[in-house]
Chains A and B, each alone.
Chain A
Amino acid sequence: MSSSQKVVVTCRVNGEDHTVLADPRDTLLELLRDRLEMTGTKEGCGNGNCGSCTVLADGVAVCACLVLAGETDGLEITTVEGLTANGTRHPVQQALIEHGGTQCGFCTPGIIMSAVALLNEKSKPTDAEIRHAIAGNICRCTGYEKIVRAISSAAETSATARAEV
C-alpha cells in the first residue's frame, strides 16, 4: 500500500488563516476536528445524511463530512465556534438556550449553522421555511418544535437589533 501525497491546504476558518498539511483522505470535518482541534462541529453519520457537521463554506451551509480537505483550499469557513463574538452569542444560540431548543446538544451546532445560513438569506422566515432550512439536520431529542420556535424568535431579535442600529 503506497502512501498518498499529502496536500497543503490554506483556508480561512472563523476569520483566521490556517495552513495545514492534510491527508487527501481527510475531509473538512477531520481538518476542523483533528488538525485544527475545533471539535464543535460533530460527526453523526459521515455521509451527509444527518447534518451534524454543517458549517458555512463561503457563506452557504455544507456538510463538512462531504468536503475533501483538498477542496477547502481558499474557502472561507465558519463553524459554531466562530459565532460567539466578544462573549456575545449569536441570536440563534441565545434563543436555543431560552426556548429549550438544545437537549443532548449533539445536533445543536449543525442546526445552528443551518439556521444562521437561513437568517443570512431571509430575515423573517416562516415556520415552514425554518423547517425546510433544518430538514437536513436530524435531531432525535427535541421533536424540533422548540428549535423552530427558537429560530423564529432569533429572527425577530435580529430584526429588532437591526432596527435599533
Chain B
Amino acid sequence: MNDPGQIDWSQKNSVVGKPLPRVDAGERVEGTAKYPADMALPGMLHAKTLRSPHAHAKIKSIDTMKAAALAGVKAIVTSGDFHDVPVGATIPMGEAGYDMWMVSVINIARDKVFWVGQPVAVVAATDPHIAEAALALIDVEYEALPAVMSIDAAMAPGAPAIHKHVITTGLEPPAQVPSNVCSRSVIERGNADDAISSAAASAAIDTTIDTGHQGYIEPQAMLAQVDSNGFAMVWAATQGQHTTELMISRMLDRPQSRIKVVPVEIGGGFGGKISIHGEAACVLLSEMTGRPVKMVMSREEVFQGGSGPPAAARHRIEVAAEADGTLTAIKGLYRQDCGGLPGLPPSLMMQASAALYQAPNLHLEGYDVVTNKPRTEAYRGPGGIQAYFAMEQAMDSLCQKLDMDPVEFRKKNAAVTGSTMPIGTPFPSIGLTTILDAVSKHDCWTSPLGEGAFPRGRGFGLGYWRGTSMTSACHISISGDGRPMVTMGSADISGTRTTMAQVAAEQFELSIDDVLVTMGDTKSVGYSDGAAGSRLARTMAAAIVEASDKALAELRTRAGRLLQTEPQTLTYERGVFRAPGAAQGGASISLAEIMQATLTDGAILETGVSTKLPLGVEVAAHVADVEVDTDTGQVTVLRYTAFQDVGRALNPTAVEGQIEGSVVQGLGWALTESFDYGDDGRLRNASMLDFRMPTALDVPPVEAVIIETPVPDVPYGLRGVGEVPIVPVGGCVANAVARAIGARVPQMPMTPERVLKAVKGR
C-alpha cells in the first residue's frame, strides 16, 4: 500500500478538504474515457428518430412500410410498440415522485404531438446514413391543431386547451373545465397589499425570461443489447442509473429483473439527463432484431425538441420597506412555462425566491402553464435563476429608492437559523449573515469600480436553493489486500468518485490511492436516487461513512481474533490495528494482513444507505462589475465574485469548479442564451452558433469564495454545492447593468438589443 504516513493523520479531515485532482482525470485528458457514443458492439445497429414537424397536431396514421423495405433497415418502432403508461403514473423519486406519463410521452408521441421535435418513430438500421434515409420514407398523416406558443397566449381567455385532462388545481371553487394552467399555488402571510400601500418605499419589476438550455456538450447517447433470454443491458449517460432502469421498466411494462443499466461517462447533465430520451426504444429495437442498438442524438435534435430545456417564465415582484430599510412585504406573481406537458407546481421555486428575506407580509402566487414547446426539464436549481432575476432586481430597486447599500439592506433583512421560512417553519442552519459579512469586507465590494470608455456598474445578488436528500446507497467490500472498494448506486456527474474516495480514505485513514470508488450498475448495488438536487455528495458521504464504520467494525473483530485480544481494546490508525502496548513492541496487524489471514472466512461486504438527511440549504451571494457599451448595448462582465456557503468543501478544487462553471452558465443565460421559437413552434436557432453559450472570451475569470458553515448532524457538515451558484447570476448582472445605465432591463437574456432599448428609453 502507499504509505499513508505522508498524510498528517493527527489532523481530523486529512484527506477530506484537500484540493486533490480528480481520480478520473487521466482518462479524460487522454481521450480514453468512454461515453455511450464511443461504444460499439459487434453487429450493432444505429437508431434514428423521426420527430414531429408540428408544434401541435393529431397523428392520424403512421405508415412505415416503405421505410421498412429500405435495404439495411432492421426494425421500426412507433407508439403502439410501447406500453400505454396512464396519466398520473409516477415512479418513486424524491417527495412527489417523477411523472412517468411525462417520461413516456417525451420518448414517443401517442395520438397527439405537443411540440416540434417530439419523437414519433424510431428506426434501427445497419448504418446511420441508412437510418436517416429511412426516416424520410415514413409517412405520417397529421391533422395540425392551433399551437400555443407563450405564457400569455396559453393563459388568454378562450385559448385552445392543449390537454383534455389538465384542469387547474388550487382554485376555489375547484375548476371544472380543461385549461392550459395546470395549477395555482399560493403562499400567504399577513397582508402584503396593505403593507405595500402603507410602506415608506416600494419597488416592482415585471420580468420576462426566455427559454434557455442546460447546454451539455455531449448530446444524449445510449446503447442497448437484449440477449436471447430477453435480458436487457443498457449503457447510458444518465444522472441516475436506477431511475433510468425504473423508467425503461415502466415504459416497456417488464420486470426490472430483466434490465440492467450500466452508467458510463456523462458529458454534462445539469438536470437535463435525469429522464430517459430513447433508451426504451433502443431496448425494443434490440429485442426485435437480436442486435445491439445505439442511438446518438445530433445537436439539432437535442435543441429541437429532443431534450427538455429549462422553463421560460414571467415573474412580477413587488417589495416594500420602512424608511430604515426594514423589509415589510414581498408580493410575487410567478408564471412558469413548463412546455408541452404539465410540469411541477411552482411552489418550491416560489418559496426559494423569497427564502432569504424575513418579510412579515407575503403574497406569492404562482401558475404553471402548458404551451406547445418541448416539455421542460430540470436545470441547476430549477426555476431559481429566473425567480431571482426578478426578486433581486426588485430588492435592488428598493435599495436605490432607500439610498441604501445593497449588502447592508440584506444584512438587515436576512433570514437566520430559526427565522420563519416562507412556508412557516423555522429555518435550519443557514449562514447567510456570515456570507454577507464576507462580501462587505471583500475587495470585490470595497474597491473602486474604475473608469472605462463606457459606463460601469457594480451589481449584487443573492441566490438560494433548498437542495434535497432523497436516498443513496453504496457497498464497501474489502478483498484480499485489505483495500476498501466502494460501489456507489449513483452516477458521477460532478467528480463524485473523487470526493467519495476522499471520504472513504478519510474513514479508513488511508491514502486516496488505496481506495477505489466506482459507479455501480443497477444489478451490482442497491437503489439510489440520481445525481440531482445537490444531494449526492452529502447523502453518498453519509452512506459511505455508515458502510465504512461497519467494515471497520468487522475488521476489528477479525483483528481481535488474530491478535487474540479483545477487539474493543484495539486502537486503529492508518490501516493498522494495535493491541494495547503496541508502541512498546506489542502486537499489531494491518488491513492487508487481516484479509490475508481471513479472506477464506468470507469477504467483508458492508452496505450504507442514507436517507432523509437534515437539509443543507445552499446560499450564494454574487458581485459583478460590468461595462455597458451604450452605443451597441453590449455588456462586458469585467469581474465576477461568487461567495457560497458549502458547509464543508470536500475538495475545494471541485467546489470551485462547480461554482465557476455554474456562474458562466448563468452569465450565458443572463446575456446571450435564448431559445427563439417561431409562431409555428419551430426553434429558429437550434444550433450552437445561434444559441450563444459563452466562449472563453465572453467571460472574466470567476473568483469563488468558499465559506464553510457546517450543517449539524450531517457527516462533514456538508451542504449542497452544485445548484445554487447559477441562481443569483441573472439578478446580479441585471443589477450591475441597471446601475451602469440608470435603467432596468426586465428581460433575460439581457441581449445587446434589449439593453440598448433600455439605454435609449431612459
Contact = CB atoms under 8 A, between A and B. Distances in A.
Q: Answer yes or no: do A and B interact.
A: yes
B218 A45 contact: no
B575 interface: no
Given A39-B38, A79-B31, A106 B699 contact: no
A42 B701 CA distance: 26
B299 A45 contact: yes
Contacts of B619: none
Given A105-B267, A106-B217, A46 B298 contact: yes
Contacts of A136: 695
A140 B215 contact: yes
Contacts of B693: 138, 140
A111 B352 CA distance: 37
Contact of B664 (A44, A96, A131, A143): A143
A94 B26 CA distance: 8
Contact of A98 (B21, B268, B298): B21
A37 to B, nearest CB: 7
Contact size class for B?
35 or more
Contacts of A84: 30
A23 interface: yes
A71 interface: no
B40 A42 contact: no
B453 interface: no
Contacts of A39: 31, 34, 37-38
A135 interface: yes
Contacts of B268: 104, 106, 140-141
Contacts of B32: 40, 81
A108 B28 contact: yes
A141 B661 contact: yes
A89 B30 contact: yes
B706 to A, nearest CB: 14
A34 B40 CA distance: 9
Nearest to B46: A34
A25 B129 contact: yes
Nearest to A144: B696
Contacts of B233: none
A148 interface: yes
Contacts of A58: none
Interface in B649-679: 653-654, 656-657, 660-665
A162 to B, nearest CB: 21
A42 B695 contact: no
A49 B699 CA distance: 18
Contacts of B656: 100, 146
B699 A143 contact: yes
Contacts of A148: 696, 701
Interface in A57-85: 79-81, 83-84
Interface string B637-656: 00000000000000001101
A142 B219 CA distance: 18
Contact of B28 (A38, A49, A105, A139): A105
B35 interface: yes
A45 B688 contact: yes
A43 B37 contact: yes
A93 interface: yes
Nearest to B38: A39
A42 B38 CA distance: 8
Nearest to A100: B653
Contacts of A153: none
Contact of A44 (B19, B493, B688): B688
B31 A103 contact: no
Given A23-B129, A108-B28, A100 B265 contact: no
B266 A104 contact: yes
Contact of B29 (A25, A44, A50, A108): A108
B494 interface: yes
Contacts of A18: none
A5 to B, nearest CB: 14
A97 interface: yes
Contacts of A92: 29
B377 to A, nearest CB: 16
A147 B710 CA distance: 30
A15 B714 CA distance: 53
A42 B31 CA distance: 9
7 contacts: A44-B267, A80-B31, A81-B31, A104-B266, A105-B29, A105-B265, A143-B699
Given A50-B688, A130-B696, 10 more contacts: A37-B40, A43-B219, A47-B687, A79-B31, A103-B661, A104-B216, A105-B25, A106-B267, A108-B31, A141-B661
In the complex, the 9 A-B pairs of residues with the closest C-beta atoms, listed nearest first: A40-B31, A106-B267, A105-B28, A143-B660, A80-B31, A39-B38, A143-B664, A49-B688, A93-B29
Interface of B: 19, 21-22, 24-35, 37-38, 40, 129, 133, 214-219, 265-268, 270, 296, 298-299, 493-495, 653-654, 656-657, 660-665, 687-689, 693, 695-697, 699, 701-702
